[in-house]
Structure 1
Amino acid sequence: MTPYAEVIGDPISHSKSPAIHGFWLEALDIDAEYRATHVTPDGLAAYFDARRSDPAWRGCNITIPHKQAALDLIEDRGGVRATIGAINTVFRADDGVLIGTNTDAGGFYAPIAGLDLEGAHAVVIGAGGAARGILFALSKVGIGRVTIQNRNVLKAAALLSSFGIKGDAVPLGTKLPEAKLLVNASALGMGGQPPLDIDLTPLPDDAVVYDIVYSPLETDLLLQADARELDTVDGLDMLIGQAALAFELFFDAAPPRDRDDELRAMLTV
C-alpha cells in the first residue's frame, strides 16, 4: 500500500499543501502521496479514529478550524498545549501513537529572522490557532509589546496573558499604533471570507506587513502595503516553511529547499 499524508480542514479546497508536498515527493522520487481531505468539526474525532488503524497513513497537517480541537484527540508528548496551545501537524510515532506538534511558529519566523524585533511593537490580527504559533515565536525573540485586534477582545487579552506578552487587546478596525510589524493571522481577506478593512497610514516607513493568507497570494492588505512601499511577507513563505518541517516528520526526508523559487513559481501560476 502507498504511504500517504494529508491536510485536513473546513473548508479545504483552497489548500496548496498537496501541491507543495507533491512537488517535494516527486523531486525526491519518494513513492508516497499527499492529499486534501475535508473534515468538519463534527467529524474530527471519527477522522482520527479511522487513521489510527490505517498503517499507510503517515500524518496530517491541520488548518482552520481544527488547530485547537485536535489537541484533545491526540497525544501531546512535546507539551504543545502548555506552550503554544494549538497544533497544525499530527504524525505517527514509531510506536504507532499519533502525536501533535506545531510547525507554524518556525514557519512564521523563518522569513523575518533577520528583523530585529527585540523590544519592538507588533500588531497581530486574529486570536485563533495560527495566532498562537505566531505569538509563541514573537515571545521567543523578545518582542516588546503586541496589540491584538480581534472580534472577541476578551479572548485576545487571555491569549496575551497566556504567553506572558505585554500589550493590549482591541476590537477589529481600531486605529493601528506605530508598530514595526503587522501580521494578519486571521482568515480575513481570504477568498470567500470577509475583507480585512484596515488603514496602514499609522505604520512607520520601516514597518513590515506580513499576511499569512495565501489565497489570493496578493491580498488587499499586501497591495496596500506595496502602495506604501513597505516591506511585505506573503502567505506562501510561512506555508512553505511550516510544510518543510512537517514533510520531514511524515516522510523522513528533508525537502529540497534549494528549489523554493521553482516551487513558488508553480504555486502562483
Structure 2
Amino acid sequence: MIPAGVAGWPIAHSLSPLIHSTWIEGAGLEASYEAFGPEDEAAFRSLVVQGRDGRLAGLNVTAPYKALALSLADEATPTAKACGSANLLVFREGRAFADSTDGLGFMQALAEQAPDLDVAGRPVVILGAGGATRAAAVALKSAEAEVGLLNRTRARAEALADELGVSVVEPEALENAVLIVNALSVQPDLDVARFADDAVLMDMTYRPLTTPFLAAGRARSLRKVDGLAMLIGQARPSFEAIFGVPVPPVDIRRVVLDALGETA
C-alpha cells in the first residue's frame, strides 16, 4: 500500500506516527505512516507533488504548513475553507483533497470529557489568535456558541475575529464563560478563582497532559478537557479518509499515555 504520514516542522515530537501505526496494525493493513520533516515550504510542496504522482496516500499537516496545504489543494471541504487551513490532504488520481478535522477532534474531546456541556447560545472564550484558534472557533460557532477571542495583541484578535465572524472580548468575559479554551503556545497567567463554578477548561496542549492551566482549574474542582483527547479525535477521521477503513477497536489513549509516561 502507498505510504502516508504527517508533515510539519519541527516534527520529532509528533505522536501521529504512533497513533496511526497502532491503528494500521490493529486493522491488519499492509501500510506505513511516517513523520516527514520538510524544513521549508519548497520541501512541503515537493511532498504534495509526490502525493499527486501516486507516491503518497495522504498527509496529516501540522504547523507551519496548514494554510499552505489548503492553498495547494485541488478541492477543499467547506470546513477547511472556513478555517482557512487544512490538516489533512488525501491524494486520489493525481489530485489533492483538503479537509480540516481539527474541529471534529475539538468537539469530540468535549463530548468525551465534558459530555453535559451545552455551548449553544452561551459565552465561550478562546485564548489566542493563532492557527490553533481557527478550527476551535469555527467548530464552536457551528455549535451556536457565542465565541469570543481574547489575545494579548488585540489587533491580531480583531483581524481573526472579523475573518471568522466571531467577537473579541476583554478579560472580564472569562467570569461568565461556560468554556475557556487555551489555544496559546504558552501557558496563560489567569486567576481561575474568577471563573464560573460550572466552567469547563480545555487546553490544546498535551505535553504535559495536565497543564498548569488545567491543574489550576482542577484545584477549583472545575471540569477539564485535555489536548490528547483532541489529538486522537482529529486523527480518527484522518485515518479513515487516508486508508479507507474504520479505526480498529484499540485503546489508543492508553497506548499514547504509556508512551508519554502519563498515568491518566
TM-score when normalising by structure 1:
0.86
Q: How does 1:1-269 map to 2 (within 5 A)?
A: 2-43=1-42, 44-53=44-53, 55-80=54-79, 82-93=81-92, 95-113=93-111, 114=115, 115-144=117-146, 146-165=147-166, 167-169=167-169, 174=171, 176-188=174-186, 195-257=187-249, 259-269=251-261
Cα contact 1:156–1:169 (8 A) shared by 2: no
Q: 1:6·1:36 contact (CA, 8 Å) conserved in 2?
A: yes
What is the alpha-carbon distance in structure 2 between the residues aligned to residue 129 and residue 233 of structure 1? 19
Contact residue 153 and residue 169 of structure 1 kept, 8 A: no
Note closer, same or farther for the CA distance 1:243–1:69 as it changes in structure 2 (3 Å cut): same
Distance 2:184 2:57 in 1: 28
- State how far apart, in whole Å, the 2-side matches of 1:243 and 1:8 are: 14
Over 3 Å counting, the alpha-carbon distance change for 1:258 and 1:22 in structure 2 is closer
The aligned amino acid for 2:207 is: S
CA distance in 2, matches of 1:211, 1:78: 26
Unaligned ranges ≥5, structure 1? 189-194
Shifted more, 113-122 versus 78-87: the winner is 78-87
Q: Give 5+ residue unaligned stretches, structure 2.
A: none
Q: 1:75 to 1:169 in 2, by over 3 A?
A: farther
Q: CA, structure 1 residues 81+16, in 2 after alignment: closer, same or farther (shift >3 Å)? A: closer
| Alignment length (residue pairs) | 255
Runs (4+) off by over 6 Å: none
- CA-based RMSD of the aligned residues comes to 2.1
Distance 2:137 2:249 in 1: 25
Aligned partner letter, 1:26: E
Q: Which amino acid aligns with 1:66?
A: Y
User: SS of the residue aligned with 2:118?
Assistant: coil
Cα deviation code 1:140-192 (max 9, x no counterpart): 11112x33123442232232223323x3255xxx563331101112322xxxx
Equivalent-residue separation in structure 1 for 2:190 and 2:39 (angstroms): 30
Amino acid at match of 1:77: A
User: Which is richer in helix?
Assistant: 2
Q: Once the two structures are aligned, what percentage of the paired residues are identical?
A: 34
